[in-house]
Each structure stands twice: as C-alpha cells, then as structure tokens.
Chains A and B, each alone.
Chain A
Amino acid sequence: MKIRVIVNGRARELEIDVHALLLDVLRDGLDLKGAKRSCDMQVCGACTVLVDGLAVSACTYLALEADGRSVLTVEGLADGESLHPLQRAFIDAGAVQCGFCTSGMLLTARAMLAENAKPTRADVLHYLRGSLCRCTGYRKIVDAVLAAAENAR
C-alpha cells in the first residue's frame, strides 16, 4: 500500500507492506539508520522516533500508522549543519558513549521539551524512565537535557 508521510520535514510517498514496521521502513526503506533495534519489545527506547511530535517505539508500530502524519528521526533534529540545542548539549556534557541509545534519548527529550519547556530533574527522570542506557549511568544525559532546556530559554 501507499502512504504519504512527512519525514524530517520532507514529504515522501512510500510503497510499503501492510505488515511493515515503522523501524524497518525508516532504516531500510529510507536509509535512516539513526533509530536502532535493540530490545525489540518497547522497553529500551533505542528505536524511538516522533510521530506528530509523540514518541513511539518504532519497532512495534505499523508503518501505515504514519500515513498522513509527520515523522521525526534523529537525522531531522539538526537544521542543516546547525545542531539542535539538545545535540549540542549532549556533546558538551559528555552524554554520549557508545551512541546506541543516543537517538532515542535525544528524540524523547525533544518531545518532552515541546510539552514542558521548564522541566525539573524529576520531570526528566519521569520522561526518560523508558529509555535505557548501559554506558553512561544517565547522569550526563539528564544534565544535558536540563542544560538544553536552560539554554533554550
């Protein structure tokens, strides 16, 4: 079937299987490799993308549900070569190690900031409760999100 999706700001018309998962359509169909397959059961958040601004687990989300909607992946966060404040903050705070969780963390944080521009540490922890990282111990990730929120104001 055909779907029409705005992916990272660009209108796309895609031919997909009804049973195709959004993660595979993005990674294999559109070569957007930033979202990762990890736990494959909605627990870890490595596959997070935003659909109409809402974080979803692309590993367990039918691609056809994105029809008529906008999808944001990590590749769409920066404005050309100009990094999003969250990306900048992650680099500066040392919040990136192996990088496998990074895309999911960035997009989840972006969704949160769109809803709540002045998050407390508790707000960030609530939102990131479903995003796992095994490398950083989370501290620098939380610091980076709070720093980005601060800088954006």
Chain B
Amino acid sequence: MSARPLRVVGQPVPRVDALEKVTGRARYVTDLTVSGMAHAKVLRSPYAHARVRRVDVTRARVLPGVFAAIAGADLTWCDPYYGPAYRDRPVLAIDVARYEGEPVAAVAAVDEATAEAALELIDVDYEPLAPAMTLEEALAPGAPLVHTGQPPAGHFADLSTLRPQPGTNVCHQFHFARGDTAAALSGADVVVEDAYRFPSVQHVALEPHAVLAAWDETGGLTLWASTQNPYSVRVELAKMFDVPLARIRVVVPHLGGGFGSKTYAKLEPLAATLARAAGRPVRLAASIPEAFQTVRRCASRVNVRVGFRRDGTLVAVECAADYDVGAYADIGPRVVQKGTYTATGPYRVPHVRLESRAVYTNTTPGGAFRGFGVPQLAWALESLFDVAADRLSRDPVDLRRQNFLAHGEEFAPGDTPIDGKLEESLGRAAEAIGWNRTGAADRGRGIAAMLKASVAPTVSEAIVRLHADGSVSVLASAVEMGQGTRTVLAQIAAEVLSVSLDRVTVVQPDTAVTPYDQTTSSSRSTAMTGRAVQIAAEDVREQLLAVVAQRLGLATRDLALADGVVVAPSRRLTYAEALALRFGMSGGELIGRGVIAPGRTAAPLGGSTPFWEMAVGAAEVSVDEETGAVRVERYVSVADVGRAINPLTLEGQDEGGVVQGLGHTLLEEMLYADGHLLNGTLLVYRVPRADDAPSELECRFVENADGSGPFGAKGAGEGSLIPVSPAVANALARLTGVRLRDLPLTPERVWRALRARPPRA
C-alpha cells in the first residue's frame, strides 16, 4: 500500500464514458448492425400453462423475406436446455408451455415488419392446462406441476447440491440452523412473529434484453449481447451447441441498465439458434412487455419469528420463507439460499432456524434483481424489529445498536468475519434524519439496516498492458451497465501506475480479449474485478521498475513512479523511454496479470464472502390519510463501503438504489388474474418518476478502508435499496400506528389499513 496520498482513487472524477453517452455516440446492442443481419421476432404462449400439441411454421417459412422459422421440435441438433441452477429452460417450448409469454416459435426475416407478418402465419395448437399461479396454488396438495421431470443441474459450484422435493413444485430447499430456537423462544421475554409478502416486480431496465448472434464459416459463434455475464453465457452456449469455449465469443457493448435482469443466459440461446437456422447473423431485441415475460424478481411470502430478552438482547430468529421463482429456476435457487443466509440481518443471534424453498409457478421466471433475495427478508425482519422495539418500549435505533454484530465478529463459522462498523452507519443515518430531534407532527421517521453476503466463491481475472507510448489498456470483463465500473477500473489502474486517467483505456468486455470474470452482479466488481486489475497493474509496475532498476544498476526500492515517469535519484525516464530501453526499440509492451480466485471454503454457502455489504436507511414520511398516499419527504442512506473509489458515481448509484427501492415499496407490483399478467407495459406498471424522488435525498458513505478490495474497498449498490421498504413502513407505523405487511404500500392499501385501525387511545 502506497504511503503517498491517492491521486485519482477517491476522486469524484467524471465517468470515462460520459462524453459518448451525452453525445449519443455510445453503442448498445440495438445500435449495432452487421452485414446481412436478419431481424428476429418471437411467438409467445398466450397461456400460463398448456400442452403444445403442434407448432406449424410452414406458412411462415415460405413468406418472402423469411430466412428461418423454428419451433421447439426443430431443435434436434443441439441441447435445447439451459439454466445456471437447473438446465430446465428450453430455448423454445418443447411439448409444454409453462408461462404466459414463453417463447414457442421464432422467426428471422429481412426486416421487422416481415418477421411480424411471419409470426401471424404460425399455427399453434395449445391444450390449456390448469396453472399454478401463486405460491399458495403451487404448494397446495395436488397442485399442477410446473415441471414433471428432474432437470440436470447447471454450472455453479455453490448450487452443486440442489435439493428439490420430487413430486412437488419445490425445486430447492435451504436450511440453516444453530442452537435451539424452540427452547430459546419459549424462554424469551418478548416474541413477535408475522408473515410478510414481497411482490413480483420487474427490473424495467430502459434497454430491454437484446442480442446479435453470428456464426462464422469455421463453426464459431460471436454474439454481441446485453448481458451482465458474458462468460456464463459463453459456457451455456458451449454446452448447448457442443462447441469449445474458445470458439464462442461474447462481446458486450454498453448496457442500458441491468439490475440483475441480464445475468445468465436469457435470449442468447434463442438468437444463436435462429442465426444457425437462418444461415446469417440475427439480431433479437425484446420489447419492454417482452422483458416482463423474460425475468422478474422472485416474489416471496416470509414468516419470521424473533425472540428478545427483556433487556433487549436478541436471542432467537426463526424464518420460513417461500420464494416464487416462476416457471424456470434461473438463478432462483441461489437467490433463495443467499437471501435466507442473512435472514438474521446484521445482528448477533445465538439461536437460529432458517428454512426456505424455491417454488415453481406458471409465471415469468424469477431471477436475480438487485438485493438478490435479501430485500424480501429484510422487509420482514426489519419490520419485526420495530414491532419488538415497541413491545420492549425501546427506541428502534437503540435496539438495533445493542444487537449489531461488531467489527471482526463471526457471522457464521467458516465465513468472513464482519468487516465493517454497523454502529457507524447507524449513528450517521440517525443523526442525518434527525432521529433525536422532535419532528413535525405530520411526519414520521423510520430506520432499517441490512447485511448481505456477496456471491462466493467466484473468479475474476484481469490483464493490464502498458503500451510503448506509456498509455495503458485494462482488460477485464466487468460489464458497464451504468454503475460506473469502467471508470472505477480505470481509476485503479491509473492510481497504481501513476498515470493520468485519460491515459487509461478500459476495453469493452469480449471473451476473446478480456479474461474471465464470473459475473457483474452481487456488488462485487470493485472489490473483485477491481482487485484483479489492481494486481495486474502492480505486476506491470514491478516489471517496469525492474526494467529501469536493472538498466541503471539500482534496486527497485530506489525508484518511484510519478505521473508517467520513473523517478530515480539522478534520472527520470518516461514510461516510453523505459520501454524503449527494455525492448531496444519503440515497440513492445509490458503485460501484467491479476487473478482473484479465493476458492471454496468451509463457509455455509461454499465460499467465504469477499466482503459484507452493510448499510442503514432512514426515512421521513408523510401520509395523506384521506387517500392513503404516502410521500417519502426525506431519505438518508449510509453505506459502509471501505473506500469510495469514485464518490460521485457511488453517490449516483445509491441515489438510484433508493428510488428503485421506493418503486417496490410504494408503486410496483406485477398483477395477475385468470392466468394473465394485467400490467406488463409501462402504461400500467408504475415505476418511480422524477417527482417521486424524495425532496431531500442524502447518500453517504462510511470509509474505514477495511475491505479486502483495492485500497480497502468493499462493495456497494444493493445496500441502498434493501432498507427502503422497512424504513418507510416503520416510519409509517410510527406516524399512524398502522403496520403493513404486504408491499407495495399503495395508497389504497394504506387507506384500507388506516380505516381498519382501532381508534388511538
């Protein structure tokens, strides 16, 4: 670690891709064309559950301008199933359609109008079947089974022990226990319990899923994909088409948002299949309504029971959680176990019993969404904490502080100890919201905390190249989806190599060029990919110093790097000059490599979290009691990030996280009736608008350089979203005495609860 003050890390520098985005030059998948490219359209099941008896594409196939029209039955030349947990999802429905919107047939044509016209020429015979649309329906005895066979497992280490319940819609179960909760609860002075529901919500990235697939004459495949993990897509396609990994290339331009919706293969297998059938490149772009039919957050029903001693010590937590993962597992099983793992939140609790299930239903598949199972449980636990505080006549901030895990304390045996100071986040959030100041009579304040593990074990690799002119390339496969990772990686490399930021280029993720990175999700890119970049840059630095030291007959400790110059006691050499010395000419480069691969550990989830994400949210709300409309007037988020590599982009991320959290807290819910999604368009699915943002919104950071990431950094981006719903509900309860347990807190729901409230004493 350098003793010198940091030059560019920690600075609120403008993001490196800002200019191309404000000038309209940034390229997303649907901005790309390749010569001979065809346009794809997808025919989707109108039924939530139906046998697909016959799909006749013959009329579509012969429409002039159509290059290919395919159905599930045509997929005999590849393995048509994919999925990271279970390979249960067919590229096109085979024998059965399992959710409304499932792709049943697809067309590639000369233009979109022809493709649309071709879809109308496809005849499908469906035999509707009874669907299981909700957790209740899916878990009832004799429920329609979404899947009748046992699909093979997918490709992730932590899910190698999938535990389905055969003969039911339960595709995974997770259990975690310590101590004796039954005894602890019966001995507890205060026990509170309740059931909380979290709705199905949609990511609504403004750019829906899109992919451009092209096979080449050697049988290799190239895709430009709006994906958060090109390497996961690559491995899926390699398995499906039996092509070596080295022959599949996934390139990722800018993403117009992700939030988890673009993790793991979504439309890439279909695009690649169509491209093969069409014999030409195919671009497949989903619409927003189609995004609603591709992936969503896993809805949940959670029962939590917590026991406290009279002195406020938390003694036991029991949690039974059911997550609705939709028609295909996607990464649902990991969402379930990851989320449940921290069901106890950021608290010390000796007796724990956690049980959760991933349940199939005949709805859009549930997958990853910012928070990854934790919002659903924090909604329950943090609400109950306030209920308990009320019963104990304790201040909710105080009760949390009393039970927080301490810095360095164990969360679970084998896992990383707590690497932050929850107390500090809590103190700053409470101070900022004015917790101890008397508030206006028409306002209520609420607080909530969160803790989340990052996915483990994972692997990130990076390459840094110092070119002959002293400029630098960073090759890493962390995907830029707006969160600013390209900028952060550039800052890290610039810092280590002591060059100005504008001398660093971060190459777009491209599996043929940028090395393996497992995923851009789980708040991990700064800590993990960033660390790999840091190591790679340090590798280059060491080589550079060694070159000059050797030439000058000095030790490397006699040298320093400063602003693109190697500084020796009596000489200064630019990097270009140093490289020229090394290679005897103007040419050549230094290449550094960084690998982060902590590997499996004894931690309960199979790997130790690289960092703990921890944050506190505090809300001040008002309510129009006559209509039930809740307004979040002020909100404070404090996240313990170790080191803010770029405070400006980080603040923007957390502001966005808070407002996105306000979405599922107050406005958003995918509504179904009679097997149909009622609000799959932005006309009737309501995301936050500019005037929904709190008038006062503060996002702050605790920086104690206590993370294992570069310069002491940890992760961020999910911590701001997770506390929002319980903080708002707690504020509402403190203001009105009304406790709601189902999200979103729409005006009507709040109004109904207010009417049902017993008269206040």
Contact = CB atoms under 8 A, between A and B. Distances in A.
Whether both chains belong to one complex is answered with yes
- In this complex, the member of A39, A99, A102, A133 whose beta carbon has the largest number of chain B beta carbons within 10 angstroms is A99
Given A99-B254, A133-B206, A139 B22 contact: no
B665 to A, nearest CB: 13
Interface string B94-115: 0000000000000000000000
A133 B682 CA distance: 12
Nearest to B689: A129
A44 B291 CA distance: 15
Interface in A34-57: 34-41, 43-44, 46
Interface string B17-61: 111111111111011000000000000000000000000000000
B697 A139 contact: yes
Contacts of A102: 21-22
A36 B288 contact: no
* Interface SS, A side: loop
Contact of B259 (A39, A100, A134): A134
Contact of A97 (B19, B484, B687): B484
Given A36-B28, A74-B24, A75-B24, A101 B206 contact: yes
A99 B259 contact: no
Contacts of B259: 134
- In this complex, the member of A33, A41, A78 whose beta carbon has the largest number of chain B beta carbons within 10 angstroms is A33
Nearest to B661: A137
Given A41-B681, A98-B481, A136-B655, 11 more contacts: A32-B24, A33-B24, A36-B207, A43-B682, A78-B23, A92-B14, A94-B12, A98-B205, A102-B21, A128-B689, A135-B257
A137 B693 contact: yes
A27 B283 CA distance: 15
A46 B31 CA distance: 14
Interface in B201-225: 203-208
B205 A134 contact: yes
Contacts of B440: none
A67 to B, nearest CB: 22
B691 A91 contact: no
A152 interface: no
B256 interface: yes
B454 interface: no
Nearest to A87: B22
Interface of A: 27, 32-41, 43-44, 46, 73-75, 77-78, 83, 87, 90-92, 94-103, 106, 124-125, 128-129, 131-142
Given A33-B27, A38-B207, A132 B682 contact: yes
A27 B156 CA distance: 40
A129 B22 contact: no
Contact of A129 (B208, B656, B691): B691
Nearest to A37: B30
9 contacts: A34-B25, A75-B24, A90-B22, A91-B14, A97-B652, A100-B28, A100-B205, A128-B690, A137-B656
B95 to A, nearest CB: 32
Nearest to B255: A98
B693 A138 contact: yes
A97 B287 contact: no
A109 to B, nearest CB: 11
Given A134-B687, A139-B693, A139-B697, A94 B648 contact: yes
B31 A99 contact: no
A7 B378 CA distance: 51
A40 B287 contact: yes
A129 B256 contact: no
A102 B206 CA distance: 11
A103 B257 contact: no
Interface string B473-500: 0000000011110000000000000000
